[in-house]
Amino acid sequence: MAEPEALKNIIEAALLAAGGSLSLDGMQALFEEHEQPDKKRLREILEALARDYEGRGIEIREVASGWRIQVRQEVSPWVSRLWSERPPRYSRALLETLALIAYRQPITRGEIEDIRGVSVSSNIIKTLIEREWIRVLGHRDVPGRPALYGTTREFLDYFNLKSLDELPSLAEIRDLDEINRELELEGAEAPADSSAQGTAAEDEERKTADGDSDAPQASANGTGNDRQAEPMAAAAGDDEADVGAPATQAEAEGHG
C-alpha cells in the first residue's frame, strides 16, 4: 500500500482529473488489488483533504454519486466569468413541476396537473428528462398506465445534495416567502410611476418565463420535505430562475 502522504496525493489528483464526482469504488479501482486502501481509509483521506481546503477557494464535497473538488459558492460569481455562455433560464412552471416530482415522487403527469391546477407542457417533461434530472420509475396500475416520474442521481449532484433528505424544509421556504412578501410591501411604497414601470417589466418577464407552458401558471408557495410539494422557484422571487451549470462546480462540460 502507498505511503499515507502519497495515497493522499493520488486521491487528490484523481478527484481533480476526474472532471466530475468519484465514488469510493472508483477510487479503489485506481489501485492494484493487493494495494487497494479500504473505504474507511479513503474516507479518512477525504476528511483530511477537506481540512486542507478550509479557508480556500475550493472544497471537497460529497454528493449522491461520490466526491468531487469544486469551487466554493462564495467565489463562484467571479469564477463563472471564465465561461462566456450564459446559463439557461427555466420558467417557474418547469421549476414547480420539478419540485413536485422531487417532493412527491413517484408521481404521474396527471397528478402534477391536479396539484398545480393547470396542464403540464410536454416540453417541460422533455426538458427535465433531457437534463437527466428526472426519469420514468414505472407505470401506475390504472387505465392508460401513466408513467411515474422520479428524480435521478444527476439531479442530486447538480443541486449539491447527497440525498433527498437534504432538500429544504417547508418551514425554511416559508421563511423565504415571508421575506419576499416584506420586500414587496416595501417596494409598494415607491412612487406610483416607478411602480407602474416595474409592473410592466414584470408582465413582460412573466410572458417570457411562461413561454414553455401550455396554460396559466400557479402561484409559488415554497417547498417542503413533508412531501407536500410546493414550487422550488419560490426562493428565486421571480418568474424565472437561473439554473445553468452549477457555479460551485470546479469542472465544466468539455473542460479539464
Question: pLDDT of 96-116, one tens digit each?
Answer: 899 899 999 999 999 999 988
Instruction: Give the tens place of pLDDT for each residue, 22-54.
Output: 999 999 999 988 888 999 999 999 999 999 999
CATH number belonging to domain 4-71: 1.10.10.10
Q: What is the pLDDT along the chain (256 residues), one digit of tens a residue?
A: 567 788 999 999 999 998 889 999 999 999 988 888 999 999 999 999 999 999 899 999 989 889 999 999 899 889 888 887 777 788 888 988 998 999 999 999 999 999 889 999 999 999 999 999 999 999 999 999 999 999 999 999 888 888 888 888 766 666 655 655 655 555 555 444 444 444 444 444 444 444 444 433 333 333 333 433 444 444 333 444 444 444 444 444 444 3
What pLDDT score does 107 carry? 93
What pLDDT score does 248 carry? 44
In 3D, which of 110, 103, 154 has the Cα closest to residue 128? 154
CB half-sphere exposure, 8, CA atoms < 13 A: 13
- Torsional class of 225: left (φ above 0), alpha (ψ -120 to 50), beta (otherwise): alpha
For Cα atoms 155, 159, 161, give the angle at the middle one, nearest 5 degrees. 90
Mean pLDDT of the chain: 74
What pLDDT score does 224 carry? 38
The residues, any chain, with a CB within 8 Å of residue 155's CB and separated by 6 or more, are 102, 132, 133, 134
CB-based contact 35:1 (threshold 8 Å) = yes
CB-based contact 105:149 (threshold 8 Å) = yes
Query: Is 4-71's fold the same as 89-242's?
Result: yes
Per domain, the residue ranges of the chain are: 4-71, 89-242
CATH number belonging to domain 89-242: 1.10.10.10
What pLDDT score does 52 carry? 92
Instruction: Look at the block and give the residue holding cell 415571508.
Output: 178
Q: At what angle do helices 122-130 and 92-104 cross, to 10 degrees?
A: 70
Alpha carbon separation from 56 to 53, 128, 183, 234 (Å, rounded): 5, 34, 34, 31
Tell me whether the omega of the peptide bond preceding residue 231 falls within 30 degrees of 0, making it cis: no
What pLDDT score does 182 carry? 59
